[in-house]
Amino acid sequence: MTDGRDKFEDDDFDDKDKGVSESVEEGADTGAEEGAEEAAYVPENPRCGFVALVGAPNAGKSTLLNAMVGSKVSIVSSKVQTTRTRVLGITIAGDSQIIFVDTPGIFKPKRRLDRAMVAAAWQGAEDADLVGLLFDVSRRGIDQDTQGIITRLKEQGRKAILILNKIDLVPREKLLGLADSFNQEGIFTDIFMLSASTGDGVEHLRGFLAARMPEGPWHYPEDQISDMPMRLLAAEITREKLFQQLHQELPYAATVETEQWEEFENGSVKISQVVYVQRDSQKAIVLGKQGTRIKALGQAARTELEEMLEQRVHLMLFVKVREDWENDPERYEAWNLDFGAS
């Protein structure tokens, strides 16, 4: 144990064999001749715009975002309030580039982190060309958080698209009743019924959104699917495994940061991350008996990171107690959240 941390290495890694190569800093001159790269694709009649996905916690926004993009860009959990920061997911449909803004669930905030998350969600909605309100149709009716979103959209004079999600879980009669209830609110221009988890109805929504994007050049290269830095996405993958494996034991008291990222000549990457918790008792929960829990956590995270990065990953996890990390401005800056949000 050093510096208050417990360390776990997911696999054996011999520094002698790593073949360290000197990395190039972002924005540095690589010496490549101008024009050497293949010319970027330019559509004939380009369209590009932003679609904000808003909704109550656990409505399925991140699942829909990943389905739209066709790859994982936002973490998913059965627990509410998993997403903490604004995530952009980028997809192409014909000549249209659709930039989805996955936002934290909108709910009544109590803590500083809650307030920052809700502020980020509303900022994403205000800046978007279109707003899609997701609703989990397995709920009994329009819940208080969703009604609050509708009220605020009315106050702002915003129209929205209603996306009834998880239609595979309820009978058709219930869907028609819900659609009628939402229609009476007077702010929804269109209603879509889909299942983000099965993909049913996703392509229909994608085509609709593509046709309604404003005319204009694409904002990102055609092969880019997110604007999230890889270090942050890697930390989010590990945090997702925390949510999945610790269930009710450690729901929101932990966060993950990527401290080090080393690329090697043999094509592998070494990623060092810190899991911050608020108390020693929580640290023991993350570690598990004789380190069994953090080992399982590391293996699950490494497997998904290797699939995502398409390279071998050496994942090193540390666990450290930081009692007041929720009130540390640096954490909020890393997540692009407003520390002073009210």
User: How do residues 295-339 score in pLDDT, each as one tens digit?
Assistant: 999 999 999 899 888 899 999 999 998 877 666 666 656 656 555
Six token digits for residue 148:
């609050």
165 is known to lie in a ligand binding site:
yes
Residue 99 annotated in ligand binding? no
Higher-pLDDT residue of 150 and 86 is 150
- Tens of pLDDT along 240-295? 888 888 866 555 667 888 899 999 999 999 999 999 888 888 899 889 888 999 99
Q: Is the pLDDT of residue 146 over 50?
A: yes
Rounded-to-10 torsion of CA 199, 201, 203, 206: -110
Tell whether 307 and 183 lie within a shared domain: no
Residue 67 known to bind ligand? no
Q: Is 186 annotated as a binding residue?
A: no
Please check whether residues 193 and 251 belong to one and the same domain. no
Tell me, yes or no, whether 342 lies in a domain.
Answer: no
Q: For residues 335 and 276, what is the distance between their CA atoms, to the nearest angstrom? A: 15
336 among annotated binding-site residues: no
Q: Which domain holds residue 159?
A: 47-211
189 is in an annotated binding site: no
Q: What's the distance, CA 55 to chain centroid? A: 14
* Integer angstrom CA distances of residue 251 from 20, 81, 202: 38, 10, 30
Residue where a domain terminates, one of 179, 211, 243: 211
157 is in an annotated binding site: no
Residue 228 DSSP symbol: S
Strand, coil or helix: 257: strand
* Count of Cβ atoms closer than 10 Å to residue 208 Cβ: 14
On whether both 207 and 253 belong to a single domain, the answer is no
The shares of helix, strand and coil residues in the chain, as percent rounded to the nearest 5, are: 35, 25, 40
Whether the Cβ atoms of residue 54 and residue 121 lie closer than 8 Å to each other: yes
Per the annotation, does 288 bind a ligand? no
- Provide the CATH number for the domain around residue 177: 3.40.50.300
Q: Which residues of 224-242 are buried (b: 16+ CB within 10 A; e: fewer)?
A: ebbebeebbbbbbbbbbbb
Q: CATH number for the domain including 272? A: 3.30.300.20
Give the pLDDT band of residue 26 (cuts 50, 70, 90). very low
Domain membership flag for residue 61: yes
41: pLDDT confidence band, cut at 50, 70 and 90?
A: confident
198 is in an annotated binding site: no
217 is in an annotated binding site: no
Place of tokens 């659709």: 98
Which tens digits make up the pLDDT trace of 279-293?
888 899 889 888 999
Of 157, 179, 211, the domain-final residue:
211
- The answer as to whether 176 is a domain residue is yes
Question: Do 323 and 234 fall into the same domain?
Answer: yes
Residue 63 is assigned to a ligand binding site: no
Query: Does the annotation flag 66 for ligand binding?
Result: no
In a domain, 39, yes or no: no
Q: Of 211, 243, 263, at which residue does a domain stop?
A: 211
The answer on 193 and 159 residing in a single domain is yes
Same domain, 143 and 238: no
In a domain, 36, yes or no: no
Q: Are residues 64 and 158 in the same domain?
A: yes
Higher per-residue pLDDT: 214 or 32: 214
- Does residue 18 lie in a domain region? no
- Rounded Cα gap, residues 241 and 321, in angstroms: 19
Q: How confident is the model at residue 78 (pLDDT cuts 50, 70, 90)?
A: very low
Q: Which of 40, 76, 67 is nearest to 220 (CA)?
A: 40
Q: Say yes or no: 154 and 124 in one domain.
A: yes
Question: For the chain, how many structural domains are there in total?
Answer: 2
- The residues with which 314 forms a beta bridge, in sequence order, are 270
- In a domain, residue 285? The reply is yes
Residues 296 and 185 in one domain: no
26 lies in some domain: no
Question: Looking at the structure, do residues 198 and 71 belong to the same domain, yes or no?
Answer: yes
Q: Is 154 annotated as a binding residue?
A: no
- Examine the domain organization and report whether 66 and 183 are in the same domain: yes
Residue 206 CB contacts under 8 Å (≥ 6 apart), including other chains: 68, 91, 93, 98
Amino acid 40: pLDDT:
66
Are residues 169 and 294 both part of a single domain?
A: no
Q: Is 214 annotated as a binding residue?
A: no
Q: Has 30 been labeled as part of a binding site?
A: no
DSSP code for 297: H
pLDDT value of position 21 = 31
Q: Is 50 exceeded by the pLDDT of residue 202?
A: yes
